[in-house]
Amino acid sequence: MSFDRLSRPLFAAVIGLALAASMACSGAATPTPTATATSAAQNATASPTPAPLTGKVTVFAASSLTEVFKKMAVDFQAKNSGVTVEFNFAASSALESQIEQSAPADIFASADTANMQKAQDKSLIDGAPATFARNLPVIVVPADNKAGVTTAKDLAKPGLKLVLAAQDVPIGNYARQVIDKLNADAANGTGFKDAVTKNIVSNEANVRAVLSKIELGEADAGITYKTDALVSGAKVKTVVIPDAANVIAVYPIGVVKGSKNATAAAAFIAYVRGADGQAALKAAGFDSAS
């Protein structure tokens, strides 16, 4: 048998093995195709746009909040054109009673924690109320100050006509706490509280009624919040109560349970507690909630 006849099959076999090995290597080196990444924009789900606020929100608010809350309402309504904000301003004690009697209210803003707590105890508030402002009582006198009241001690002057709010009204309660603290100060003399009590000529329904009496000169002195005195401007003068004898008025706010417009009510409360609302309160003389 010749060499050519033997070598041809052998050569073909060698070539075949070489080709097979080459193909195997080529296959191992070929990367496995990967799925094409879908763009983030295609995968992203758009957040639903909140429905615009609509309807009426009725706010039961302490009398001392009258001007600043009305100002806030104008701005809030400008930003939420579908909402109308209406108010019922009165003493917090009267407002709590009205809410208990099912008066239609969406929000309760009190000038003290006591009346808000009463509302909570009767399950009239939805969730926990939040403090949004603080205030300080001051002594107010008519612009001419004929009685010559210059210090808190002067409230005990014989014959002085003193006007307070009723005891269940927040400012009336705060005023009596102040008088008790002043009475405990020996510098004010013995019998201070008795002398002051004798000078009380009326107990008004709310802080604005006290302020009105002083503006009209129907009394020599009264105790209101510092913010009310600012509202009166030149019609009254203020006499500072010593820090040691003063008390801090705390203002809580909450959504009334059973509100017919709880979403808009919550939005208004968020506005009051937010930057714009707090700026308005500061401009009106209120102190920060914190």
At 163, which CATH number? 3.40.190.10
Entry pTM: 0.83
Question: Contact 76/83 with Cβ under 8 angstroms?
Answer: yes
Residue range of the domain that includes 192 = 137-245
Residues 129 and 142 in one domain: no
Which band of pLDDT confidence, cut at 50, 70 and 90, is reported for residue 290? confident
Residues 236 and 93 in one domain: no
Percent of the chain exceeding pLDDT 70 equals 83
pLDDT at 165: 98
pLDDT at 131: 98
d(CA 68, CA 58): 16
- Structural domain includes residue 226: yes
- Give the model confidence (pLDDT) of 31-41 as tens digits: 444 444 444 43
- Structural domain includes residue 36: no
- Three-state secondary-structure class, residue 157: coil
**How many helices (H) and strands (E) in the chain?**
11, 10
Q: Which of 15-29, 141-155, 157-171 has the lowest mean pLDDT?
A: 15-29
Residues 230 and 154 in one domain: yes
pLDDT at 23 over 80: no
pLDDT at 228 over 90: yes
Residues 143-155 have a mean pLDDT of 98
The DSSP result for 205-242, as a single string, is: SSHHHHHHHHHTTSSSEEEEEHHHHHHHGGGEEEEPPP
SS (H, E, C) 89-152: EECHHHHHHHHHCCCCCCEEECCCHHHHHHHHHCCCEEEEEEEEEEECEEEEEECCCCCCCCCH
- Give the model confidence (pLDDT) of 104-141 as tens digits: 999 999 999 999 999 999 999 999 999 999 999 999 99
Among 113, 136, 143, which Cα is nearest to 242's? 136
Residues 232 and 176 in one domain: yes
pLDDT at 15: 39
Residues 157-179 have a mean pLDDT of 98
Which band of pLDDT confidence, cut at 50, 70 and 90, is reported for residue 51? confident
- Give the model confidence (pLDDT) of 241-255 as tens digits: 999 999 999 999 999
- Structural domain includes residue 67: yes
**For residue 64, how many other CB atoms are within 10 A of its CB?**
32
Residue 205 C-alpha from the chain's centroid: 25
Residues 149 and 210 in one domain: yes
Considering its fold, how many domains does the chain have in total?
2
- Structural domain includes residue 46: no
Residues 186 and 218 in one domain: yes
Which band of pLDDT confidence, cut at 50, 70 and 90, is reported for residue 45? low
**DSSP-assigned beta bridge partners for residue 125:** 256
